[in-house]
Amino acid sequence: MHLGQATLEAQRAIEEADEVLYLVPETDTVAWIKKLNPNADTLARHYQKGKLRRETYDEMTETILAPVREGKKVCVAFYGHPGLFVNASHAAIKIARAEGHEAYMQPGVSAEDCLFADLGVDPCRDGCQSYEATDFLICHRVFDVRTMLVLWQVAVVAVKDYQYPHSPNHGFPYLVDYLTAFYGPSHVVAVYDKSFFPGEPPKIQKIALRDLNKSHISAMSTLFVPPLAEPEVDEDLRARLKAGERFVARVSNPA
């Protein structure tokens, strides 16, 4: 979240907490959190150069749980949506519940929500496929080129354990080649970087797949691949639906 996208629900949770922990990138939001609740501290101190991300996330989880185990009401504020690519939020809630504490997550505005707005696309028109880039590539996820595709964390393709401040992105060309095989080299995609600051426009690079390796990919970049073609319509089925005719779908089971 940033200040302009914070919900009233989030504001109330911050105000009512005994202790607030936060991980946000800009100073105005930090100042707002501390104004709502002076008993607030950052989780960013766990990031250190050369430290493995798994170790960082484990330390964040324990920092969140420590005051919970003391009986305090704890609120943790993350930028974006707290359930998207936030290991510590899910881990802390799971452990807290297992230990008998009440724990829940409030929704926030994700980078994908901002992408839909900034690129002017409707995920309900053609459908939407959303994958972590490395998972998409190495697991050969089944996808439809007639449906929009959103790929997360393209800056760290095939990086086993991301380290601060940045790991080399040797796997990105493999992702580009894989997409090119399905969409063709002239298909235009968008490299999207959401703005962290209110009033600041996002960075959007629209570029053909053949030139994608030359584009600037930041640690926060998300790749948007628009549909290659319109989907084929089953005209016979559409006519039967329009006529109100009952039918039985027959789907073969690959297993």
State how beta strands 128-132 and 148-152 pair: parallel
Contact 137, 159 (CB under 8 A): no
Name the catalytic one among 53, 131, 162, 178.
53
> For residues 10 and 106, is the Cβ–Cβ distance under 8 A?
yes
Instruction: Specify whether 57 is catalytic.
Output: yes
Whether residue 79 lies in the annotated active site: yes
Residue linked to tokens 């970049």:
221
Q: Check 12, 47, 54, 79 and give the catalytic one.
A: 79
Task: Report strand pairing: 203-208 vs 188-193.
Answer: antiparallel
Lookup: tokens for 242: 């329009």
The Cα-based distances of 79 to 4, 42, 114, 214 in angstroms read 11, 12, 13, 29
Q: Quote the longest CA-to-CA distance of the chain.
A: 65
Find out whether 60 and 43 touch, Cβ atoms under 8 Å: yes
Mind telling me the catalytic residues? Answer: 53, 57, 79
